[in-house]
Structure 1
Amino acid sequence: MSQPLRVAVIGAGPAGVYTADILNKSETPVDVDLFDRMPAPYGLVRYGVAPDHPRIKGIVNALHKVLDTPGIRFLGHVEYGVDCKLEDLREHYHAVVFATGAADDRNLPVPGVELPGSHGASEFISFYDGHPDAPRDWNLDARSVAILGAGNVALDVARVLAKQADDLLDTEIPDNVHRALSASSVTDVHVFARRGPAQTKFTPLELRELDHQPNTELVVHPEGFELDEASEESVRTNNQVKSVVKTLQDWALRDPSGQAARRLHFHFLRRPVEILGETEVTGLRTEVMELTGDGSVRGTGEYETHEVQSVYRAVGYLSSALPDVPFDHGSGTIPHEGGRVLDLDGEHVPGVYTTGWIKRGPVGLIGHTKGDALETVNNLLADLGNLPNPTESDRDAVLRMLDERGVDYTTWEGWNRLDEHERALGAQRGRERMKVVERDEMVRISHGAES
């Protein structure tokens, strides 16, 4: 190959950035362009992690170093399928890697799910993380709230709802989110898990963080707090399960004080079967489940009704189909073999690859995407001799294409301006950062104009 390998990566979250980093560190000369529909990079880290998780957000420092590398170019505010299509990218790049992640809420097929007051967890997360496309107001009039799910996303939503708004003032929480949380009527947050405590997907650190919230009492309900043979085996052989179960057991043994302003409840072996209400959420109906001895559960035919005025579904994320790219709607992923995208006949689409959650599904922590990206990049590099050559030889031709189409794209230099602006806003309040929320304002500041 006489010219450097040119690769377009669609999605500038952790999966996309890791892909660019691995490509850049390979022995093959390469130029990588990272496209993202947001004006800012980092994807899930910026818009999917709770603002009071500085440890996780610290990964931004590592991602920043990658994007600051010569040969890697960030092009934000460019939406694939709207501002450019696959055929456009093929004209400019030897290969295209789709790393668009999973941002939608997985469906929960129960009656009442469409009622006002029933929300997908990602909707609320986008609100409190200041996503440009999220609403600026959020109704928190509910006194009792149900959260459906037993993973870290459920814990994040529960923690933010149970937290006092002023306890978030040392984070990058936007002002409109602080106002909404300050006016919250929530007194009780109920987390419902379909299976038992040993089958939850909580990680120990995220679970224990709940015990550090002032004026919030943790209540683990004994009904459903059961361990079967498979559960006990998991406790014996898996330190993470052991830690989670012990933490929950310790909380279950506490005597309630009744003095806290808010209570965070855990209910196990409770399957949601209906969200109640006619014009808005008024309750939740659950079926009592039982463990079967092998870690699975079955229904008992016994039902309970819980008085709640809002329901948040944290039952998993789902990727969206992309124009001109094969998609498996059942699994919510791009069909692939080792990251090589496959067409309807099971044949590799030349020069098209995938990585991250849209490749393997929304499972695993952020760090797991590194190994995923390595597999994809290794296969891409193994295909060097068979990659189609772009018709455009000039790397900047793609910029001219975007300019001709009137795409107001942002760059890495623009992100550094926005980053500096947000840090300055935060410094005025004694914080590390104050996030700019409006998309147009983000673009203006990126281009060097003050808001």
Structure 2
Amino acid sequence: MLRVAVVGSGPSGVYTAQALVAQDRVPDVRVHVLDRLPCPYGLVRYGVAPDHEKIKSLQNSLRTVLEHERVTFLGNVEVGGGGIPPERLGELYDAVVYCVGAATDRALAVPGENLPGSCSATEFVSWYSAHPDAAAAGFALRARSVVVIGAGNVAVDVARILARGARELRPTDVPPGALGALAGSRVHEIHMAGRRGPSQARFTTKELRELGGLPQARVVVDEAELARDPAYADPSDPSARVPALSSPPNAPPLTAAARRNVEVLRGWAAGGGGAGTGGHPLRTIHLRFFLRPVELLERDGRVAGVRFARTVPDGSGGVRDAGTYEDIPAQLVLRAIGYRGVPLPGLPFDPVRGTVPHLAGRVLRDGVPSPGEYVAGWIKRGPTGVIGSNRSCAKETVASLLDDVPLLAGRPSAPDPVAALRAWGLRPVEWDGWLSIERAEAALGRSLGRERAKIPDWAGLLSAARSGGRDRR
């Protein structure tokens, strides 16, 4: 029997477990999927916006893997930090695959970034997704104007949730506290700003178009600002090139996705913006480009706005400052400029890339593969790709692990890793404990006249897990 621990129950961890039990090179593989949280699914549960039900339905396929007879879910098990050290975990299993993702956000590194009212989009997403680590105070949403810095799908998600009314979000699993705050929101203006042009934006066309269909919001774009992008002139032309932004001089044509994005923005510019569907928009979303944040402005000890440097294409694949500035007033600033991996005590770490050094998924210690230690997902390759990208990433790592099986044969492992985890002082939440949480969230939703509502705090989640799940030491 080959016992493997997979640390992390998001898509990369679950796809790793799936690849292990689906292969036939080693017939008897048992996989324990460990997670610091008592709930599975990682960013599918705590990162996908609540109004994106189709993407959230991916939980159903992940669930099938976690219910496999040779897969065991063990929540509430922290590795590193105050939990079990990686070196000790390695003594319990024949191999350990770390799929811990990119746990923090990138900083702006500008003056004023730490002022009250300046937060990461990760914090905001965690709050409306009911992540138990989210700040207890939450977001009061008393701001009239919000600036979202970034031009990717997370920035679009944040802008969309801010622009939606509580009635639109009531059918979702948004926790009661967040739903109440959104119902009382005073937000009127939402500015989403990227430092480059529309053809360089990282959001998908589907996400972009959703902004134009919000019942109580309208989208405003500035055609003169968009036109600074060389690709804006005629994005429908397959030969459209962007040498000023893409360099070298013989730049490739726009990708189909970039061309669609620019075409949507051209349509909004020609028609006066995305008008929404409700007739009387309560909020306005301003999509801004070629703006680089240089300072967060302060008034009375809080954020009062963002000072942006105007940028223009530099002819070398990026942008340069144009020498002019623009201040946008805001009482709340949310940065959405990417995720970043953090060191896991006991594992090597590349601080530049924010990843664990590896060779085809094998952890490298001083440049040499460490038998029994592996990585997959964002901690392996950085925060790139879509959810499906984790499948091929996991398969590569599992192939390396299986190739190493002869090297793993002599490693010590515990006859009962779960008992050893309990002996270490941990209290794992097993699958029936998670099912108990699901039942409790359904009951909470019914009590509020909704289908489901998430439990937003550690105490509530663990209490629900213990009420119907096993709690053995």
TM-score interval, normalised by the smaller of the two chains: over 0.9
Query: Conserved in 1, the CA contact under 8 Å of 2:221 and 2:287?
Result: yes
1:240 maps onto 2:257 in alignment = yes
Q: Secondary structure at the match of 1:38?
A: coil
Counterparts of residues 88-99 of structure 1 (less than 5 Å)? 88-99=88-99
Q: CA deviation at 1:224?
A: 2.4
* Between 168-177 and 288-297, the greater mean CA deviation after superposition: 288-297
- What code does the residue aligned with 2:350 have? D
Counterparts of residues 244-255 of structure 1 (less than 5 Å)? 244-255=261-272
1:23 maps onto 2:20 in alignment = yes
Q: CA deviation at 1:294?
A: 5.4
1:360 maps onto 2:381 in alignment = yes
For structure 1, the 5+ residue unaligned runs are none
Report the counterpart of residue 173 of structure 2 in structure 1: 172
Report the counterpart of residue 120 of structure 1 in structure 2: 120
Closer, same or farther: CA 176–389 of 1 in aligned 2, 3 Å: farther
Q: CA deviation at 1:390?
A: 4.2
Closer, same or farther: CA 369–392 of 1 in aligned 2, 3 Å: closer
Match of residue 442, structure 2, among 412, 423, 426: 423
Report the counterpart of residue 339 of structure 1 in structure 2: 361
Which deviations, in whole Å up to 9, do the C-alpha atoms of 1:28-54 show, x marking residues without a partner? Answer: 120111110000100101111111110
Query: Conserved in 1, the CA contact under 8 Å of 2:84 and 2:424?
Result: no
* TM-score between both structures, scaled by the size of structure 2: 0.90
Percent identity reads 44
Closer, same or farther: CA 340–262 of 1 in aligned 2, 3 Å: same
Counterparts of residues 187-226 of structure 1 (less than 5 Å)? 187-226=188-227
Which deviations, in whole Å up to 9, do the C-alpha atoms of 1:372-425 show, x marking residues without a partner? Answer: 11111111111111125443451x2x2222222332210012112222332343
Counterparts of residues 26-425 of structure 1 (less than 5 Å)? 26-27=23-24, 28=26, 29-81=28-80, 82-136=82-136, 137-226=138-227, 227-228=229-230, 232-233=240-241, 236-255=253-272, 259-278=280-299, 279-293=301-315, 295-343=317-365, 345-387=366-408, 389-394=410-415, 396=416, 398-425=417-444
Q: Secondary structure at the match of 1:320?
A: coil
Name the CA distance, whole Å, in 2 between partners of 1:10 and 1:393: 17
- What code does the residue aligned with 2:98 have? F
Q: CA deviation at 1:151?
A: 0.3
Closer, same or farther: CA 444–389 of 1 in aligned 2, 3 Å: farther
Name the CA distance, whole Å, in 2 between partners of 1:215 and 1:280: 29
* Between 159-168 and 30-39, the greater mean CA deviation after superposition: 159-168
Cα RMSD of the aligned pairs, angstroms, is 1.9
Q: CA deviation at 1:85?
A: 1.4
Name the CA distance, whole Å, in 2 between partners of 1:338 and 1:277: 47
Q: CA deviation at 1:145?
A: 0.7
* TM-score between both structures, scaled by the size of structure 1: 0.94
Closer, same or farther: CA 36–389 of 1 in aligned 2, 3 Å: farther
- What code does the residue aligned with 1:251 have? W
For structure 2, the 5+ residue unaligned runs are 243-251
How many residues align? The count is 444
* Between 255-264 and 134-143, the greater mean CA deviation after superposition: 255-264
Query: Conserved in 2, the CA contact under 8 Å of 1:92 and 1:390?
Result: no
Name the CA distance, whole Å, in 1 between partners of 2:111 and 2:324: 18
Which deviations, in whole Å up to 9, do the C-alpha atoms of 1:206-251 show, x marking residues without a partner? Answer: 1111122112010012342133269832795422111111111111
- What code does the residue aligned with 1:269 have? F
Q: CA deviation at 1:430?
A: 5.3
Name the CA distance, whole Å, in 2 between partners of 1:294 and 1:241: 19
